């Protein structure tokens, strides 16, 4: 079983419901998930749009990275995501952040996620559930990457009553 880290984000429609459904389906395929709290952040986009909601999940899988990414993209489509303008609003975005220590520069699947170390809205929820998780190639932990970022733009931790089957509290 390979450890993986995923990020979920969205800012259009019923985002919390999309997260609950996606996490339930991820749990059904991957097994028990460790899921972070819900966070709110400003959209990182030149397009005016609502704030994003974000969370992260840690799991273990026997799926290949490509199959896991394909499954995540299918969940996005099922939640109503439509390919359109880059960086536009969306009900669900799932990124594969880490797949054990695998490194890949393939444009279809870059690992670790190419902007992981730059995104407070991804690192904050991930640090909540896996602060000591090392990020290849240097092995810097999630908590250290988060400490290195400026505090702006801020992320806000929110109360969240999510509890899809197959998930565990952090």
What are the catalytic residues? 81, 90, 93, 95
Strands (E), the chain: 2-10, 33-35, 38-41, 52-61, 93-99, 104-106, 109-111, 134-135, 140-141, 155-158, 167-168
d(CA 66, CA 107): 12
CA 62 to chain centre: 19
End-to-end Cα spacing for the chain: 20
d(CA 19, CA 16): 5
């Amino acid at each position: 079983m390979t450890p993986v880290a995923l990020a979920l984000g969205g800012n259009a429609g019923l985002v919390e419901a999309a997260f609950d459904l996606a996490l339930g389906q991820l749990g059904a395929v991957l097994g028990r998930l460790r899921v972070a709290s819900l966070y709110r952040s400003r959209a990182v986009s030149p397009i005016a749009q609502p704030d994003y909601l974000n969370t992260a999940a840690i799991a273990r899988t026997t799926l290949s990275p490509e199959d896991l990414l394909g499954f995540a993209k299918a969940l996005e489509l099922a939640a109503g995501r439509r390919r359109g303008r880059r960086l536009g609003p969306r009900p669900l975005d799932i990124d594969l952040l880490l797949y054990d220590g695998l490194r890949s520069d393939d444009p279809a699947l870059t690992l670790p996620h190419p902007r992981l170390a730059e995104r407070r809205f991804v690192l904050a929820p991930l640090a909540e559930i896996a602060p000591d998780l090392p990020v290849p190639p240097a092995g810097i932990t999630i908590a250290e990457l988060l400490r290195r970022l400026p505090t702006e733009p801020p992320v806000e931790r929110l109360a969240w009553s999510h509890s899809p089957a197959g998930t565990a509290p952090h």
